[in-house]
Chain A
Amino acid sequence: MPVKVQLDRIGMAFATPGGTFRAVAPLDLAIETGRFVSLVGPSGCGKSTLFNVIAGLLQPTEGRVLIDDEDATGTIGRVGYMLQKDLLLPWRTVLDNVILGMEIQGKPLKQARERALPLLRKYGLAGFEHLYPNSLSGGMRQRAALLRTLLFDTDVILLDEPFGALDAQTKSQMQEWLMQLWSDFRKTVVFVTHDVDEAIYLSDEIHVMGTRPGRILETIQIPIARPRPRAVTLSPDFTAIKERCLQLLTADRPALEAA
Chain B
Amino acid sequence: MAIQDAPRSTELTGLAMAPAKAATPKPARRLPVQKDWPSWAIIAVQVLILVGIIAGWEAAARAGMVDAFFWSQPSAIWKTLIIFFTEGDAWVDIGFTFRSTILGFIFGTTAGSLIGLSFWWSRNYAAVAQPYIICFESMPKLALAPLIILVFGLGLTSKVVIAFALTVVVSTLTTFAGVKALDPDGEKLFYSLGASRWQVFRKLVMPSCVPWIISVLRVNIGLALTGAIVGEFISSQHGLGRTIFYAGSTYEISLVWVAVFVLSTLAVIMYAVVSWLENVLRKGTRQ
Contact = CB atoms under 8 A, between A and B. Distances in A.
B188 interface: yes
Nearest to A58: B188
A80 to B, nearest CB: 8
A201 interface: no
Interface in A44-98: 52, 55-57, 76-81, 83, 85, 87, 89-91
Interface stretch (A13-21, A99-107, A117-125, A238-246): A99-107
Contacts of A78: 194
Contacts of A101: 193
A90 B287 contact: yes
B196 to A, nearest CB: 8
A53 to B, nearest CB: 12
Given A57-B188, A81-B189, A87 B183 contact: yes
Interface residues of A, number: 24
B192 to A, nearest CB: 4
A56 B188 CA distance: 10
A30 B20 CA distance: 70
A191 to B, nearest CB: 16
A89 B188 contact: no
B285 A87 contact: no
Contact of B185 (A80, A83, A103): A83
The SS class assigned to the A binding surface is loop
A79 B192 CA distance: 7
A167 B209 CA distance: 32
Interface in B190-204: 190-195, 199, 203-204
A145 to B, nearest CB: 9
Contacts of B185: 83, 85, 87
A132 interface: yes
A78 B23 CA distance: 72
Contacts of B194: 76-78, 104-105
Interface size class of chain B, counting residues whose CB lies under 8 Å from the partner chain: 10 to 19
Given A87-B186, A89-B204, A104-B199, A152 B285 contact: no
B193 A100 contact: yes
B286 A90 contact: yes
Given A90-B286, A90-B287, A91-B207, A55 B192 contact: yes
A55 B193 CA distance: 9
Contacts of A81: 188-189, 192
Nearest to A93: B286
A91 to B, nearest CB: 5
Q: Which of A83, A100, A104, A105 has the most CB of B within 10 A?
A: A104
B211 to A, nearest CB: 9
Contacts of B285: 91
A102 to B, nearest CB: 9
Contact of A91 (B183, B188, B189, B286): B286
Nearest to A81: B192
A77 B192 contact: yes
Nearest to A86: B189
B286 A104 contact: no
Contacts of A132: 286
Given A85-B185, A104-B199, A91 B287 contact: yes
A83 B190 CA distance: 11
A85 B189 CA distance: 10
A56 B190 CA distance: 12
A87 B189 contact: yes
A105 B196 CA distance: 10
B188 to A, nearest CB: 6
Nearest to A83: B185
Contact of A89 (B192, B193, B199, B207): B207
13 contacts: A76-B192, A77-B195, A78-B194, A80-B192, A89-B207, A90-B287, A91-B287, A100-B203, A103-B203, A104-B194, A104-B195, A105-B194, A152-B193
Interface of A: 52, 55-57, 76-81, 83, 85, 87, 89-91, 100-101, 103-105, 132, 134, 152
